Chain A
Amino acid sequence: MRRIISVLMENEPGALSRVVGLFSQRGYNIESLTVAPTEDATLSRLTLVTIGDDHKIEQVTKNLNKLIDVVKLVDLTEGSHIERELLLVKVRASGAQRDEIKRSVDIFRGQIVDVTSNMYTVQVAGTGEKLDAFLQALGEHTIMEVVRSGVSGIARGEKVLSV
């Protein structure tokens, strides 16, 4: 099962490598990983997507919690949550294609953020599924380059992950 684990950790050098190292060392997989400092510069927020059964996920969270740099963590998939991923994609766009692509971008509520006479750069935010669907709508022949940020997430409602 796909899980989104959100981790609050010390913004220290080496902290990220400990998290990543833990996954390779214990044979857990990472589907995606994002990390950046929070409003409190001493803390970083890391969101990672992993796949495993309940037993594996329990071990993942226990071992993450054991890392000295990890302050707190939550499995967002245990409750109602919002997940977002940012996609930047360069697509071939010339002639009649330009309008068609523009329509697809509108349908997926994306934005064209850069233009040349032969291509668009499109930005779309949403769940991973939505981004997959958008890429499929574009068709692989038009796609020149894809960049995805990896999943970020936050719990719904008043629940917050903080120290």
Chain B
Amino acid sequence: MELLSGGDMLVRALQDEGVELIFGYPGGSALHIYDAIFRQKGIKHVLVRHEQGATHAADGYARSTGKAGVVLVTSGPGATNAITGIATAYMDSIPMVVISGQVPSDKIGEDAFQETDMVGCSRPIVKHSFLVKNAEEIPEIVKKAFYIASTGRPGPVVIDVPKDVTNPADRFPYRFPEKVRMRSYTPAGKGHSGQIRKAVALLLSAKRPVIYAGGGVVQGGGAELLTELAQRLNYPVTNTLMGLGAYPGSDKRFLGMLGMHGTFEANTAMHHADVILAVGARFDDRVTNTPNKFCPGAKIIHIDVDPASISKTIVADVPIVGTVQSVLGEMLEMLKSSDEQPDQSAIVDWWRQIDDWRERHGIYTAPRYRTDGALIMPQEVIRAVYDITEGDAFVTSDVGQHQMFAAQYYLFDKPRRWINSGGLGTMGFGLPAALGVKIAHPDKEVVCVTGEGSIQMCIQELSTATQYHLPVKILCLNNQALGMVKQWQEMQYEGRLSNSVYEESLPDFVKLAEAYGHLGVKIDRREELHDKLQEAFAIKDRTVFIDVYVDPSEHVYPMQVMPNGSMRDMWLSKTERT
């Protein structure tokens, strides 16, 4: 059998696992591993500028491909810098394997240089973690890590590797396990057929049904089946922020996003629904508003791969634990072989009601923002980019107003196109995530929608874009303030803008982009918006930073009334409420 050092074993095991790409940053404890990377050809390593960027880039890669993202960092600050990105992946159930260097085994616990208890630090935000004790364990730990990260409800897995374990002088026989079996880990597979039959009967009996689909449908590869199911039944569909793209955004049955900044028709339809089919969604507090006022008349069918997500905040009437693919597949089979049909006249009435809501306050039936002013409105920027990219771009986002505008106004027809930090709400996510997406999809248009606040949280990754020639578009909706914070301060704190404005401190983003070797475009006149965007998007071989000065006073609407509001209680503008 071949003899390899721990460092070589780790890299070989990653190759054998099919890893093509690692995002990382070297340092003392990881140097043996980095040397092993240097001496091989199979895996490409992308050097980021900050470990947070590595995790977000791996995350973007994972979300856009469905494969686990891989991160390599050193001990201590390298590891702690990765924490935000690990938590981001954990909250959104993204498959990721993070390998962290650790001080040598005999130094652990001695407050050694760059020592941090990474397994301890990351414990609440990982699906699982391993501390490697000796080199012979490495192949099996790698196999297990990928298996755990990518199956069931996916999530990040940390492998902490003490430096002595990777010592090039110590060699051991290498064998990569074909399969791994763990008696303590059996991810859910098929759903319970009896429950599925009940769910189908309940669905067919519905008079006011809504299908509420979340990120689990995207992650679990269930978008096609969900689309087929909804179209077969002619039932309306709403997606969560994480679920956008799980159902085609441009289809007439799509009600838009639901929740805090969901559309009037989606939130109102949910409130009045008699049957809700929740698929791969977790009734997040940003969706349900006040839980005891949530959808008072609805029977709830809840499909999820994670039993702990079911009946956590909202009790399900028909819980089904299983993968969305198998459960939706079985539901469709039953529907196809059943003679029963939905109550057509009830469904027609329901659609009539929904269309009336759309007509009254829907954001897709008429612009609900100013269209005659001098200032550029953020919504129209997203609409313009949607038109220019023909709705076919990969869009990553940071966190704040721009994120909500992008979620509302860019209609995603395919899964894995909308990449944002929904659960943790991590500012700084967008740019590194876009780089991860671009590496995986070099021929596709990748747009990072950001704001002047978020972009500065990971702006150093502009340098990574230069080094690896990753021509993404950065679309900065610049309102010269922390827009969402400011919106809340204006709505709930009598306009006291505590630390949410930059005064005159913002950098010249055009010059900054140029300093990194990119192209910068500033757009601050409304009449130039379309032409300048067209020009910027025509450039395919360079990273372009498009700094668009938008109306700083604009708020995101609809916005659910809090606290104590129900789904349908919304602000529709600064002055108008449901």
Contacts and interface: CB of A to CB of B under 8 A. Distances in A.
Interface of A: 9-10, 13-14, 17-18, 21, 25, 55, 58-59, 62-63, 65-66, 68-71, 163
Interface string B295-306: 000000000001
Nearest 3 Cβ contacts at the A-B interface: A62-B308, A68-B128, A71-B184
B124 interface: yes
A2 B185 CA distance: 28
A28 B307 CA distance: 18
A9 B184 contact: yes
A163 B183 contact: yes
Contacts of B306: 66
Given A62-B308, A65-B307, A71 B131 contact: no
A10 B120 CA distance: 18
B169 interface: no
B124 A62 contact: no
Contacts of A18: 123
Interface in B164-194: 182-185
Contacts of B120: 17
Nearest to A25: B124
The dominant DSSP class at the A interface is helix
Contacts of A63: 308
B127 interface: yes
Contacts of A17: 120, 123
Given A14-B129, A21-B124, A25-B124, A66 B308 contact: yes
13 contacts: A10-B184, A13-B131, A14-B123, A17-B120, A25-B124, A63-B308, A66-B307, A68-B127, A68-B184, A68-B185, A71-B183, A71-B184, A163-B183
Contacts of B293: none
Interface string B112-134: 00000001100110011101000
A59 B309 CA distance: 9
B389 interface: no
Contacts of B148: 68
Contacts of A13: 131
Given A9-B184, A25-B124, A59 B131 contact: no
A59 B306 CA distance: 12
Interface string B128-155: 1101000000000000000010000000
A21 B311 CA distance: 22
Contacts of A59: 308, 312
Contacts of B128: 68
A98 B9 CA distance: 67
A10 B185 CA distance: 11
Contacts of A163: 183
Contacts of A25: 124
Nearest to A15: B184
Interface in B81-140: 119-120, 123-124, 127-129, 131
A25 B308 CA distance: 15
A66 B155 CA distance: 12
Nearest to B307: A62
B308 A69 contact: no
A27 to B, nearest CB: 12
Nearest to B129: A14
Given A25-B124, A66-B306, A68-B128, 13 more contacts: A14-B119, A14-B123, A14-B129, A17-B123, A21-B123, A58-B311, A62-B307, A68-B127, A68-B148, A68-B182, A68-B185, A71-B183, A71-B184
A63 B307 CA distance: 9
A71 B184 CA distance: 4
A69 B307 CA distance: 17
B157 to A, nearest CB: 9
Contacts of B129: 14
Contacts of A69: 184
A44 to B, nearest CB: 12
A18 to B, nearest CB: 6
Which of A59, A63, A68, A163 has the most chain B CB atoms inside 10 A of its CB? Answer: A68
B180 to A, nearest CB: 12
A47 to B, nearest CB: 18
A163 B185 CA distance: 12
Contacts of B119: 14
B323 to A, nearest CB: 16
Contacts of A70: 184
B309 to A, nearest CB: 9
Nearest to B157: A68
A96 B332 CA distance: 82
Nearest to B315: A55
